[in-house]
Amino acid sequence: MPFHAYFCTASDLTMSNMRPAWVVPTSIKPGSAGFLAPESPWTDLLCARVKEFVRLYRVEWIVFDWFVYGSLHPNDFAVQPAWFVKGPFKEIIGRDMPEAAARITPEESLLYKRTVLAKQFYRIREAVHDASPDTKIYFNVPYRKPAEALWVDHPMVNESEMLLAESSEEVVPWLLKIRKPHQRVMTTVVGRQDGVSDPMTWKRWFEAGCDFFGYAWGTPPDFRPHPACAPAVDTVRHAYHQMP
188 burial level (CB within 10 Å; 0-12, 13-18, 19+): buried
**Given a cut of 60, is residue 147 above it in pLDDT?**
yes
- Render the chain in DSSP notation, one character per residue: ---EEEEESS--HHHHHH-GGGBPTT---TT----B-TTSTHHHHHHHHHHHHHHHS--SEEEEE---SSSSSGGGPPP---HHHHHHHHHHHSSPPPSSGGGS-HHHHHHHHHHHHHHHHHHHHHHHHHH-TT-EEEE-----STT-TTTTT-HHHHHSSEEE-S--TTHHHHHHHH--TT-EEEEESS--SSSS--GGGHHHHHHTT-EEE----EETTTTEEPGGGHHHHHHHHHHHHH--
Backbone torsions φ then ψ of 192, nearest 5 degrees: -60, 135
| Residue 183 pLDDT class (50, 70, 90 cuts) | very high
Q: Which of 26-35, 47-56, 67-76 has the lowest mean pLDDT?
A: 26-35
User: How far is 202 from 208, CA to CA, in rounded Å?
Assistant: 10
Report the pLDDT value the prediction gives residue 195, as an integer from 0 to 100.
47
Q: Are 84 and 20 in contact (CB under 8 A)?
A: no
Report the pLDDT value the prediction gives residue 192, as an integer from 0 to 100.
56
Residue-wise pLDDT for 184-227, tens only, equals 999 988 765 554 556 667 888 899 999 988 776 777 888 888 88
**Given a cut of 50, is residue 71 above it in pLDDT?**
yes
Q: Give me the percent of the chain exceeding a pLDDT of 90.
A: 72
